């Protein structure tokens, strides 16, 4: 085996290991988020859980597709299998974009119907715990991906970093809301959970949109008779 082939095999094994770790971590967090969303009756927690479910469903099949990314260019496949990753990312972020838009719609509907109440302290404490656990997972993934990185790995590392920011932000927001419980602003309480969910959803829109644009550009560059440079 040549040095190049050995390097490619090491890179493939590293990518499989990183994505497998991310998959298992996402699975555990998703299960707890769905359960706690039901227990706490929180759309904010549900928004986080649904987002992770969509990512989890799409991450699993990609573990099977990884070997295709490392197949060499041949006469039958003159452009290799690099476009497989672009197609997968387009599907992944397309689904996430639809999910986010549906969650925004659902929370707007809840607000227009008068909102709903949640266990503010419970959500705040839960999100803080999740935030610290996500931070640990993000640090591990960042360390594992230092030597080998791909667009897919970068997207997973980014999603874990995003989970840290989201969970900590939600925790601070709900702790702040609990401080308003006995003030003149307490009448806003039924709306705050959906408002936080919408704000989080809007914040999450940027990454899917940017990744879809990048994915379509890379896919266009892989098409036959295309001479445009990939950027």
For the chain, the structural domain boundaries read: 3-222
Residue scoring higher pLDDT (227 or 174): 174
Pairwise CA distance, residues 171 & 160, whole Å: 17
> How confident is the model at residue 3, as a pLDDT?
54
Weakest-pLDDT range from 12-16, 27-31, 65-69: 65-69
- pLDDT value at residue 66: 61
Is residue 31 scored above 70 in pLDDT?
yes
Least confident of 60-74, 78-92, 192-206: 60-74
Is the model more confident about 97 or about 81?
97
Under 8 Å between Cβ of 167 and 134:
yes
156, 16 contact by CB (below 8 A): no
Q: How confident is the model at residue 133 (pLDDT cuts 50, 70, 90)?
A: very high
Q: What percent of the chain has pLDDT over 90?
A: 3
Of 46-60, 133-147, 176-190, 217-231, minimum mean pLDDT range: 217-231
Given a cut of 70, whether residue 8 has pLDDT beyond it is: no
Phi-psi region of 41 (alpha: psi -120 to 50; beta: other; left: phi over 0): left
Burial of 123: CB neighbours in 10 Å, binned 0-12, 13-18, 19+: buried
- How far apart CA 75 and CA 198 sit, in angstroms, is 49
Mean local confidence (pLDDT), 150-163 = 77
The answer on pLDDT for 200 being more than 70 is: yes
Of residues 47, 51, 50, 52, the one with CA closest to residue 193: 47
CB atoms within 10 A of CB 20: 13
pLDDT score, position 231: 47
- According to CATH, the topology of domain 3-222 is Alpha-lytic protease prodomain-like (1.20.1510)
Lowest mean pLDDT among 34-38, 51-55, 191-195: 51-55
Q: Is the pLDDT of residue 62 over 70?
A: no
Q: Which DSSP letter does residue 185 get?
A: G
Mean pLDDT for the stretch of residues 75-87:
58
Residue in the structure block whose two tokens are 């573990």: 63
Residue 226 pLDDT more than 50? no
**How far is the C-alpha of 203 from the C-alpha of 167, rounded, in Å?**
13
Q: How confident is the model at residue 136 (pLDDT cuts 50, 70, 90)?
A: very high
Integer Cα distance of 117 and 133 in angstroms? 27
């Amino acid at each position: 085996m040549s040095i190049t082939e050995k390097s490619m095999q090491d890179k493939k094994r590293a990518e499989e290991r990183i994505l497998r770790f991310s998959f298992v971590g996402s699975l555990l967090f998703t299960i707890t988020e769905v359960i706690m969303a039901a227990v706490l009756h929180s759309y904010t927690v549900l928004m986080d859980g649904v987002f992770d479910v969509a990512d989890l469903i799409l991450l699993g099949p990609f573990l099977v597709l990884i070997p295709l990314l490392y197949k060499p260019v041949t006469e039958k496949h003159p452009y290799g299998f690099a476009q497989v990753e672009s197609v997968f990312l387009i599907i992944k972020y397309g689904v996430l974009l639809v999910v986010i838009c549906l969650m925004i719609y659902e929370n707007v509907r809840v607000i227009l119907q008068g909102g709903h109440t949640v266990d503010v302290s419970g959500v705040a404490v839960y999100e803080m715990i999740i935030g610290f656990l996500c931070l640990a997972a993000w640090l591990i993934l960042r360390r594992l991906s230092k030597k080998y990185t791909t667009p897919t790995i970068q997207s997973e590392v980014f999603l874990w970093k995003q989970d840290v920011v989201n969970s900590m932000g939600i925790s601070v927001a709900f702790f702040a809301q609990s401080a308003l419980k006995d003030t003149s602003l307490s009448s806003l309480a039924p709306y705050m959970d959906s408002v936080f969910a919408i704000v989080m959803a809007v914040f999450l829109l940027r990454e899917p949109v940017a990744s879809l644009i990048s994915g379509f550009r890379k896919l266009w560059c892989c098409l036959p008779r295309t001479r445009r440079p990939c950027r």
